[in-house]
Amino acid sequence: MTSPRARRQALGRPSRHSRPARLRGRRGGWALRRAASVDRRGAERAQPRERLDWARRIELVSVLLASFVAVAGLWYSNIQSARDRAQFRQEFELSREGQVTDRYTAAIENLGKDTPEVRLGGIYALQRIMEDSTRDQPSVASVLAAYVRGHADKDSAKGGRVAADVQAALTIIAGRDTAHDRGFRPVLSRAWLPRVNLNPVYRPGQRVAQLANSSLAGSYMPYANAQRADLRGAFMPDAVLTNAMLSEADLRGAWLDGADLTNAFLTDADLRGTKMESVILDKASMAGADLRKAFMVNVSLRDTHLHGADLSGADLSGSDLREVSLFEADLRGTVLDNTQLRKGGLFRADLRGASLKGADLRDVSLVGADLRGADLTGADLRGADLGKARTTGAIMPGSDGAAEPRSRPT
């Protein structure tokens, strides 16, 4: 009996074992055809993708170019705008300078008019120019100072008072902002300024009249109001300041040789290092004044009030201090050689280390004074009251001089 496999082989049919090979052949061909089909579709899809990438690149380059052009345009516009602004500013400054020049010329012309009101208008016009154009302040201030010197004479001071236009010019000079001076120095020498007011507006805590390093040599300024004025380094020899108000004024380093300050008010004034040779200060009020290291040789201080004043280190050699009041004054290290202090009041004054050689101390009250270390060689102490005065280490007058004090020192 033949097997099924043999019969199939006899009939020419493929065997069961050989079918898978054929099938595998068919399936392999199908797989190759399918792969080829997939490759064709992939290639077809890849072509549009490549075209799309190029389109994006072109678009990106276009955007970059547009951005660059925009930025370049903005930069150029900015540069052009800056140039236009600079040109506009230059033209504006030129126009402004031209206007200032025209205003300045008109104001100067008004100063030469005969009518006081017109001159006063010209002065205030110059003040406005000085405020609007700080660079022109030195020249404007110099013009105003020259105007004061030319118009402040005895004839202009009617009724014993400075003229209104001169007062206005001085007020502007004294009230200017010194930060824009650029070397300007007020020169007001020989000006006739009776009852001038240099303090028209009181500003608490501020110096009002800005007259530092000014020249007021020989100026006539009785009853002047210069309270809290800044007069540091001022040159004021032979100036007349009788009855002047100089309370709390700053006169440090000022030069006042030969000046007349009779009856002047110098309460709490700062006079440190001031040069005051041959100055007249009779009956002046100088309570609380700071006179440290002041040079006051041959000064007249008769009947002057110096309560609590600080004269330490000052030189008052040969000065006249008769009937002066130096109650609780600081006179440490002060030079009082050959001074006249007759009938003066030095009650509780601090005279430690002071030099009073040859001083006239007759009838002086030195009650409670501190004379420790003081040199009184050759001083005349007849009738002087040294009650409770401390004289430890002091060099007292010799027995040959008539210098017997009324009360013995302790």
Buried b / exposed e along 262-283 (16+ C-beta atoms within 10 A): bbbbbbbbbbbbbbbbbbbbbb
Which of 24-33, 58-67, 71-80, 377-386 has the largest mean confidence? 377-386
pLDDT digits (tens, 9 = 90+) for 12-41: 555 555 555 444 455 555 555 665 565 555
pLDDT computed for residue 23 by the predictor: 45
Q: Which one, of 201, 216, 147, lies nearest residue 171 by Cα? A: 201
The tens digit of pLDDT for each residue in 149-164 reads 999 887 776 778 899 9
Q: How confident is the model at residue 102 (pLDDT cuts 50, 70, 90)?
A: confident
The answer to whether 373 touches 352, Cβ cutoff 8 Å, is yes
20-24, 30-34, 108-112, 252-256, range with the lowest pLDDT: 20-24
CA distance 292 to 253: 11
Confidence of residue 403 (pLDDT cuts 50, 70, 90): very low
**CB contact burial 186-203 (16+ within 10 A = b; e otherwise):** bbbbbbbbbbbbbbeeee
| CA within 13 Å, CB half, 5 | 5
pLDDT of residue 41: 58
With beta carbons less than 8 A apart as the criterion, state whether 364 and 385 touch: yes
Give the mean pLDDT of the chain.
85
Given this model, what pLDDT does residue 66 score? 82
Per residue in 163-205, pLDDT (tens digit) is 999 999 999 999 999 999 999 999 999 999 999 998 866 555 5
**Contact assessment for residue 210 and residue 199, using Cβ atoms and an 8 Å cutoff:** no
pTM score of the predicted model: 0.74
